[in-house]
Amino acid sequence: MVLAVASRNLSIGYEELDSVVWAVKNVSLEIERGSAFCLAGESGCGKSTLGSAIAGILPPHAVTKGVLLVNGKSVINGEVRDYEGVRGRRVTYIPQNPGSSLSPYLKIGGQFYHVLKSVHGLEKREAFAKARDYLRKVELNPDDVLERYPHELSGGMQQRAAIALALSTGAELLVADEPTSALDAHLRLQIVELLRKLREENGLTLIFISHDLLLASALCEKSAVMYAGRIVEIGDTRRIMEAPAHPYTRMLIGAIPRLGDKRPLRSYPGEPPRPGEEKVGCPFYDRCPSSIAKCTREKPSLVPVGDGRYVECWLYA
Amino acid sequence: MRRGVLLAGIVAAVVAAAVLAYFFVYLPSQQRGKIKVVVYAYLDRITGIDPSIEDDTGIPVIGVVYETLVRYDPATGDVVPVLAESWEHSEDGTLWTLRLRRGVVFHDGTPFNSTAVKLSIERAKGIYEKFGRGSGYIWSSVEEVEIVDEYTVNIRLSYPTRLDLMAAAIYSAYIFSPSALAKAGVDSPLDPELESWFNQGNDAGSGPYYIEYYSPESEVRLRKFEKWWGWSLVNNPDAPDVVVIKIMTDPLSQYNGLLAEEVHIASSVPRANVGDLASRGFKVLNVTLFHNYLLLFNIRRYPTNITSFRLAVIHAIPWEELVQVALRGFGRVGKGLIPHGFPGYDERLAYKYDLTLAREYLQESGVPKGTTIEFVYQGEYEENEAFAQLLKSRLAEIGITVELKPLPWIAVKDAGKAVWEDADRAPHLIISDWWPTIPSPYEFLALLHSTNTEWNWAGYNNAEFDELLDKAYELEGEDYELALQLYARAQKMVFDEGVAVNLWDEVRPFVVSSRVDLPEDALNPLYIYVIRFELVKVRD
Amino acid sequence: MPLSLSYLVKRVAWSITVIVGVVVLSYLIIILSPGDPAVKWAGHPRGPGAAKAVEQARKELGLDQPLHTQILNFLRMVFTGDLGLSIAYRQPVYDVLWRNLAATLELLLVAYAIGVPLGSFLGVFAALRRGKRVDGVLQAIGTVFANTPTFWLGLAIFMALLPSGFTAYGRVNVSLALSTGFYTITGLYLLDALLQLNFPVFVDALVRLLPPALAVAAYPVGVCLRIGRTLMADALLEEYVRAAAAWGVKRRTIVWRYAFRAALPGLVQVSGLAFAYSLVDAMVVEYVFGREGLGRLLYDAVSVNDFRLAIGLLVIVAAFYLIVNTLADIAQALIDPRVRL
Amino acid sequence: MSEVKEVLELSHAVRRAWIRSTRFKVGAALSSFVLLLAILGPLVAPYPSEGMGAVPPTAAERTGRPPSFEFPMGTDNLGRDVLSRVLMGARLALIQITTVVAASLAIGLVVGVLAAYYRGPIEVALNYLTEVFLALPAIVMALALRLALGQGFHTLLFSLILSWWPWYARASFVYARSVVEMDYVLLARLAGVPDRVVLLRHVLWNILQPVLVQAITDLGSVLLEASAINFLGLGLKPDEPDWGIIAQNGFKYITSMPWISLFPGLFILLTALGFSLLGDALREELDPRLRRRWKLWF
């Protein structure tokens, strides 16, 4: 079976003035077709970079090592990147901030037209007809939207339009980069519901990037938790939620307020390492409540802890 | 894609239409009604075309559109008939009788007759006397113009003058049609409205060409006047149908106009390019004009009030170098104050370039070395600029510093006149380029007349000189020879004192395209810049 | 999309107030600089008629009245289109100005029709190849073009044409114009020739226009290249370009429909600003190529001390600057859907 | 604190540009070359007096010589060595542009900062003034002042300064407005720090950097305008060794002695180019987005 996404020892960095800042470090990952997968972590942990790599929109000053396959095609192989025939055809993308991700100079209809013309070679009329279908799928009234500019739409409508645009490509792998972070709470749930529905209807593979594990658990079977560019825990979302293994995962989950739960929210001191800051040992040890001496000297690696879960922590080694 | 094809189709169609039109519309029309056009490049924008008032750069237009009673002939020094066929004067020279040419019509068809002559002379004289404008002073001796009959006029003078020479003047001597008054809607010929009517581009002349289009800053277009009386006399079927006087204020543009075959006659190509043009097959007519460049000394301000200082400066003028370097050969070293070939010219009045002598004079004057003097000249003329820088460098060698003050013409004049009000504000040296209105030595010498505060920029005030001049002028009508002798004495007087020297006489190379034949008698050194287009032949 | 009236009115009203300021300023220059203002306004008249002319000027300017009355009076003169007769040409100042403005405008328009698209295109091209050798070369060209003294470039073009025997002098061959019955309608010869279907004159005028237009075009080419590159480089970093790429939109579409479309308003604005600068260039180049136009008027105004013409030029040039920039602003508003009109 | 950072950043940018940017190096080389000429001009010019306008005694034999070993740039219509003229012109050129830019910068900064700091009528009035002067290109300003004040150095300088300051006023207004709206400036004002101190310490210092970089580029643009004005005869007197004047003088002889105009024009170009490159390179160093490697990736 061909995997939707497979990476081996993938590292992605950004060239700065005289150095390279690595945002993703040595990540190996497999995502099955038809599954929903969550990349979780705080901002700056590299999850968006990884998502961009999969969607094929790494900026030009990014540098890569390792291998990344999308639908079996090698898109990153060492320093070579080749997304020919991948973008929009095999993988599509829902942006984080719909306000700035839709061209302000084109009407929504026009944006559909350009996408559909490029991907499927549709003429204007066909493209508009198809656009209507997709807009209805995301529960928008096509007549309200097609002839409008993005700035004339509300945030929620913009995001739905962006989702419709992403879907209209027909690609089966959908990378959603924090699609809800710019929205209000009730809109957030609506969008998540919408994504779940669409995924089920169209049989998509969904990669959901979020800092919110709770939201992820409503959508995704599997999750990976990232910290400082590394995957620190990976496995079944529900199991992770129930019994987080890595101290960092525990911290993430502990920071989620839950209805009816009277426990005080636990917070951990300190901040994640700044980009470019390299540590000898485990990058989390200075914030970790259960660090041991080894943590400061050596980097741990992912080890299986059963149930298909892997954790990168000396506590489990 | 389809749009691209459509666009290409449209472009192709337009190009095809243009090509077809060129061959089937334009070329045949060219061969059918070919009109003869001459384009004359002229250096200055036109300051006005009122026949009685204009006394500046309007000359190439008014000199063609209007006619005078008589014309000056430089070869004989006498006048030839134009609108007046013959004339005679009484013994004492105060009553002149003119017989006018018959069958002459103005451009609007009104006939030329003694009324027009009376009106024209009285208007020029009247405007000068009332407003001080124009060159109407040439008629100042006229007491009365009396119409004897349709074609005979008596002119009564208050003192004897050479009225024939006056009537040949370059300015304010033109005859215009009385119908102009009605057209301009004025009753009095002195009404300023009449001037603005003229300056809107209207003409009321009788010359061989009339004004068709008038844009004083760019071009004036003249069209052949078929009913001109003289066509049968000049017998020139190749005369231009249309004359364009194109204002090209920059010598280089005239050169380029010639090369581009846009200009057929150029008055002022850069002197450095004349040789090049000649080698390209253009004809060059070098005309020595009665136009000279006089250096005037402010004799009311230290140190130019000291004669030996003035002589020191004069001996530092590099005469030959000036012609060679500054004028590139297009000029003649000035003698005395009066240009070559003009009545009163005296070739013996010359100074030499001699720095040793100059130093001696300087020492004699007692003016210390390092003294700074101001030098004002008209900056737009390339030759003035070159001369100024040359003189500055040479005077630096004998220890005199020159501050150059190139100014526009009008400011030059203001600076010059200031000598009468506040001599210390006026420059020490100033160049006055001068051309005469009438062919008389008086024209040049009067530049130092004490009553001529308008143009006497030296501030020279010498009763003896004034008297000689006035006497000579009045004698012109009675005893021309004696008058010339008095003028010669006056000229020598100011020359020896170093009040003013003629730096150079202008040699103007008129460059003519091979398509056009410009006979030499179409140009006249007195009527500077006027071309008698009726004599010009246009070849196909 | 209908242009909102209130926006237009506000923009135009502001421009008019600025013009009023320019007129007041020019009046102050006459009044405050050393010398008698009436003499200056009369163009330093000479001869016995001078006193009368100066008296006339004094009356025109109302110099015996208080300053604010004088200024109001002067404003009325300027805005009623009566600046008196030009000293140099003895014709109404505005008549002379309009005649010559057309010539300058024609040169400028053609120069911009060449310069702006060419510069913008090269700018886009450079931005797409940012950091490559082509980009370096194009940027160098842009910098050189934007820094070449225009009069010098005009001279160079002029000299380069000389050996070929072709001289691009003046606006049209007068003999040709006369023999084909060409007459002026708008004063823009190219347009006039087209309206009259006079192709020989059209070709002649165009051929004479191109060399000076190229000289004038150098600056807009340089500016649009540099600005176009910067704007395009910025636009290519926009989120929506990334998103469009992720959705599989073709490269060409992204470049032109997304990124270039975003750079367009900026280019319009900069072209508007540069247009005023190029007016000066056009005046200098006109002088070099012996064309009629404002440049020669400027030259003449100095040589004849024609203060009226100078003030007329000042007002015309300032008005021109403001009109072009107002138009650029309005155009910018029109092409930017986010601007609420 | 922040002012120290700004200045540091500028000097860092200069250092970085010096290391990385070819453009900066070329620009620095060109402008220091001109600076050197300005200082050494009289020492290196073969005929300094001719450079200042003196016609040599041998003028008659020397007029209009084309460039040769003896006269590398030829001689002019009065037989003067064009190389000497051009070399002596460097000093005049630098004096013109530095004076104009310094004065315009001073006026523009004051007007812009005041307009940004004080709102209401002062802001409107100052911005209005800026707009009025902005509408007048230097060349027409020069025309008016030429008629009002006569020909000379002062006319040239005034017309350039009067038409350049509004650009700085506009730029510093925009920058200063954003600084004024920053919290620490608001706090300082609320805390009763005198206006003078706030303006100088916080506002002026913070906007200096971008305006200074612009000023470096403008040195070149001012030279272009100054030479155009001189070329049209609106500025300096015709015997000054100014490049625009020399080119004007040569223009009359362009077909017979093209070298007279050619070389001064070239020096104008090189000087303007030098400053423009310096400014561009610095601006790019200060904008992090433009520093990054980039290629057409989609």
Per residue in A278-308, pLDDT tens? 777 888 888 888 888 888 888 888 888 877 8
Secondary structure class of B326 (helix, strand, coil) = helix
pLDDT at position C231 is 92
Question: First-to-last CA distance in chain B?
Answer: 51
Model confidence at D235: pLDDT above 90: no
Least Cα distance to B373 among B352, B398, B353, B354 occurs for B398
User: Nearest to residue B317, comparing CAs of B371, B405, B387?
Assistant: B387
Q: Is D119 helix (H, G, I), strand (E, B) or coil?
A: coil
Whether the per-residue pLDDT at C48 is higher than 90: the answer is no
CB-CB contact of B332 with B284 (8 Å): no
Q: Which residues of A touch D290 (CB under 8 A)?
A: none
User: In the prediction, which pLDDT does A19 show?
Assistant: 81
Contact status, residue C245 vs residue A56, Cβ threshold 8 Å: yes
Residue C123 pLDDT: 94
Residue B8 CA to residue A315 CA, distance in Å, equals 75
Nearest Cα to Cα of residue C33 among B406, D154, D228:
D154
- What DSSP assignment string belongs to A108-141? HHHHHHHHHHHHH---HHHHHHHHHHHHHHTT--
φ, ψ for residue B477 (rounded to 5)? -75, -30
- Which residues of chain C lie closer than 8 angstroms to D296, CB-CB? 128-129, 251
First to last CA, chain A: 31
List the structure tokens of A235.
């496995």
Q: How far apart are CA A169 and CA C245, in angstroms?
A: 12
Q: Is the dihedral of CA A70, A73, A75, A78 positive or negative?
A: positive
The identity of residue D280, as a single letter, is D
Is the model's pLDDT at B125 over the cut of 90? yes
Q: Are B234 and B83 in contact (CB under 8 A)?
A: no
* CA distance to C13, C94, D145, per residue, from C314 (Å): 19, 12, 11
pLDDT digits (tens, 9 = 90+) for A148-206: 999 889 888 898 899 899 989 988 899 998 888 777 778 888 888 888 888 888 888 99
| Element housing D63 (H / E) | none
Residue C212 has pLDDT above 90, yes or no: yes
Distance of alpha carbon D270 from alpha carbon D88, whole angstroms:
16
- Checking if the pLDDT of C2 tops 50, the result is no
Res B106: pLDDT: 95
Cα gap C144→C124, rounded to integer Å: 18
Q: What is the mean pLDDT of residues C92-114?
A: 89
Quick one: which of D176, D159, D29, D166 has its CA closest to D99?
D159
Mean pLDDT score, B258-280: 87
Residue B386 has pLDDT above 50, yes or no: yes
φ and ψ of A87, to 5 deg: -60, 130
Do B and D make contact via 3 or more CB pairs under 8 A? The reply is: yes
Q: Tell me the C-alpha distance between B521 and B523, whole Å.
A: 5
Name the percent of chain C lying above pLDDT 70: 95
Rounded CA-CA distance A97/A100 in Å is 6
Amino acid B1: pLDDT: 45
Question: Which of C47, C52, C290 is facing B256, going by the closest CB pair?
Answer: C290
Grade residue B19 by pLDDT with cuts at 50, 70 and 90: confident
Query: Residue B179 has what pLDDT?
Result: 94
Closest CA to A273 of A14, A23, A11: A23
pLDDT in tens, B50-93: 999 988 888 999 999 999 999 998 888 888 999 999 999 888 88
Whether residue B413 lies within 8 A of chain C, CB to CB, comes out as: yes
Note whether B138 and B173 are within 8 A (CB). yes
* Contact call for residues B222 and B159 (beta carbons, < 8 A): no
Percent with pLDDT over 90 in chain D: 28
In the predicted model, is pLDDT for residue C257 greater than 80?
Answer: yes
The pLDDT of residue D217 is above 80:
yes
3-state secondary structure of C192: helix
Q: DSSP character for A25?
A: E
Distance from the Cα of B121 to chain C's closest Cα (Å) equals 19
**Collapsing DSSP states into helix, strand and coil, what is residue A64?**
strand
Question: pLDDT per position in chain A (317 positions), as tens?
Answer: 678 899 999 999 988 777 888 899 989 989 988 889 999 988 888 899 999 999 999 888 899 999 999 988 899 998 888 888 888 889 999 998 888 899 999 999 999 999 999 999 999 999 999 999 989 988 889 988 999 999 889 888 898 899 899 989 988 899 998 888 777 778 888 888 888 888 888 888 999 998 888 888 888 889 999 988 889 999 998 888 888 888 888 888 877 766 666 665 566 667 777 777 777 788 888 888 888 888 888 888 888 887 788 898 888 87
DSSP state of C2: P
State residue B388's pLDDT score: 92
Residue B489 pLDDT class (50, 70, 90 cuts): very high
pLDDT at A183: 76
Answer for the pair B153, B146: CB distance below 8 angstroms, yes or no.
Answer: yes
| pLDDT level of residue B486 (50, 70, 90 thresholds) | very high
Q: What is the mean pLDDT of chain C?
A: 85
- Bridge partners, residue A236, by sequence: A222
pLDDT at residue C187, as a whole number: 81
In this prediction, residue C192 carries a pLDDT of: 86
C65 close to C73: Cβ distance less than 8 angstroms = yes
Domains of chain B are: 28-281+513-538 (3.40.190.10), 291-507 (3.10.105.10)
Closest partner residue to C96 (CB to CB) among B217, B409, B417 is B217
| pLDDT at residue number B32 | 47
- Tell which residue, A234, A112, A228, has the closest CA to residue A161: A112
Taking 80 as the threshold, does the pLDDT of residue D37 lie above it?
A: yes
pLDDT for B264? 93
- Residues of D within 8 A of C146 (CB-CB) are 276
Chains with at least 3 CB pairs less than 8 angstroms from chain C? A, B, D
Give the β-pairing of B37-42 and B265-266: parallel
pLDDT of residue C3: 53
Host H or E run for residue A39: strand A36-40
Q: What are B175-225's pLDDT values in tens digits? A: 999 999 999 999 999 988 899 899 989 999 999 999 999 988 788 999 999
Band the pLDDT of B443: cuts 50, 70, 90.
confident
- Cα–Cα distance between B15 and B535 in angstroms, integer? 43
Q: What is the CA radius of gyration of chain D?
A: 23
Distance CA B140, CA A3 (A): 115
Identify the residue among D78, D149, D232, D254 best suited for mutation to test binding to B, counting B beta carbons within 10 A and taking the highest.
D78
Task: State the average pLDDT over residues D35-55.
Answer: 85
pLDDT score, position D4: 46
CA-to-CA dists, residue A298 to A25, A66, A247, A281, B102, angstroms:
15, 22, 17, 4, 126
CB B459 within 8 A of CB B299: yes
The DSSP bridge pattern shows strands B209-215 and B372-378 to be unpaired
Q: How far apart are CA B531 and CA B511, in angstroms?
A: 13
pLDDT of residue C20: 92
Tokens of residue B29, six digits: 């029309």
| pLDDT greater at residue C63 or residue B459 | B459
Model confidence at D178: pLDDT above 60: yes
Interface test with C, best of A48, A87, A101 (most C CBs within 10 A): A101
Q: The whole model's pTM is what?
A: 0.81
Which chain D residues are Cβ-neighbours of B320 within 8 angstroms?
60
- B394 contact residues in D (CB cutoff 8 A): 55
Instruction: Look at the block and give the residue holding tokens 């911009």.
Output: C112
Query: What is the pLDDT averaged over residues D136-156?
Result: 87
Per-residue pLDDT of B339-377, as tens digits, reads 988 888 998 999 999 999 999 999 999 899 889 999 999
Tell whether B140 lies on the interface with C, counting CB pairs under 8 A.
Answer: no
Check whether B122 has a pLDDT greater than 90: yes
Question: Of chain B residues 31-60, which have a CB less than 8 A from chain C?
Answer: 33-35, 37, 39, 45-48
Within 10 angstroms of residue D176's Cβ, the number of other Cβ atoms is: 25
Query: If you average pLDDT over residues C313-339, what whole number do you get?
Result: 84
CB count within 10 Å of CB C338 equals 12
> Is C260 within 8 Å of C232 (Cβ atoms)?
yes
Name the residue among B422, B426, B444 with its Cα closest to residue B500: B444
Neighbours of chain B (3+ CB pairs under 8 A): C, D
Alpha helices per DSSP H over chain C: 5-32, 37-41, 50-61, 67-79, 93-128, 133-147, 150-161, 174-179, 189-195, 199-236, 239-246, 251-253, 261-288, 294-303, 307-335
Q: pLDDT at position B453, please? A: 80
Is B454 at the interface with chain C, CB within 8 A?
A: yes
Q: Is A76 helix (H, G, I), strand (E, B) or coil?
A: strand
